[in-house]
Amino acid sequence: MAEAVFGWTPSLERLVLALDDNSAAASALARDGLAVVTDGRLTLRPDMVMQRRENWLTDAACPAFPLSYTMTDGRRHPRRPPKPVGTVYARFIPWLSDVISFRVVDIAHDLPLVHRWLNDPRVDTFWNEAGDVDKHRQYLSRIMSDPHMVPLIGSFGDQPFGYFELYWAKENRIAPFYEAADYDRGWHVIVGEDGFRGRRFITAWLPSLMHYMFLDDCRTERIVGEPAAAHSQQLRNLDLAGFARIKNFDFPHKRATLVMLLRERFFGDRLWQPAPKEAPIEA
């Protein structure tokens, strides 16, 4: 309900509650970080409300993993939690009157879908992973066995529309190109279904994916990406979603742009809501 109220009134900075500060309900809200006392009144703040993971993360989502370091290919980094199974995030999107959700890839079930998407010429232009079913089975198996990556399928209602790879930046190929922190996270995306391209959908799935990554571990302060520097449309979309362009750099396989979204910016500027309509956005 609080998400809806703040969404309907973007200028609303806080929601004053008609509760006694000493009541059990008020104490519970304050204890859980949902309400604070401002000018002697109990209030809800949008940036705090949207960080309550229980409202959007499902039982399949892992709790924050204890900090313990290990080494991978000469890189010291925190141990990562076991991969979850099933649906990890769900959120109602009012402008679509539908629910977006993300679930972990099940290779036996999702291989035909990912295989079709990776062979889409529009996708292959930037992914360069077209091939037969065996190639894509091996590809997904590698991702599933890699502790620093989580592959997801995004759906609107019961219709899958896209494939997402989430990664911990410190163990990723991006790490040598900037000073990666322990819980920085990044992502790759395929929007596989043409019917789910365009502004209405990207303003739902892009902030929802960022929301999930920030909620999944409260120690994640930055989300990074490395889209192709030539992918001008994706870069414009990321600009509108709050990402800053840090620099261009060269991978062995492409020239990329390092982009970055801060946790404080995402929640402080309410970037889970759509960009202004006058700014066109496409997938």
Distance of CA 28 to the CA centre of its chain: 28
Query: Which one of the listed residues 226, 264, 278, 282 is annotated catalytic?
Result: 226
**Neighbour count for residue 195 (Cβ, 10 Å):** 10
**CA-closest candidate to residue 55, choices 89, 26, 25:** 89
Catalytic (active site) residue 226: yes
Q: Are 209 and 186 in contact (CB under 8 A)?
A: no
Query: For residues 176 and 252, what is the distance between their CA atoms, to the nearest angstrom?
Result: 13
**Beta-sheet strands, E only, within the chain:** 15-16, 35-38, 41-44, 69-72, 75-78, 87-93, 98-104, 149-156, 159-168, 185-191, 222-225, 244-250, 255-262
The SS3 of residue 248 is strand
What region, left, alpha or beta, does residue 98 occupy, with left being phi > 0 and alpha being psi -120 to 50 degrees?
beta
Amino acid at 158: D
Query: For residues 283 and 263, what is the distance between their CA atoms, to the nearest angstrom?
Result: 23
**Residues labelled as active-site residues:** 226
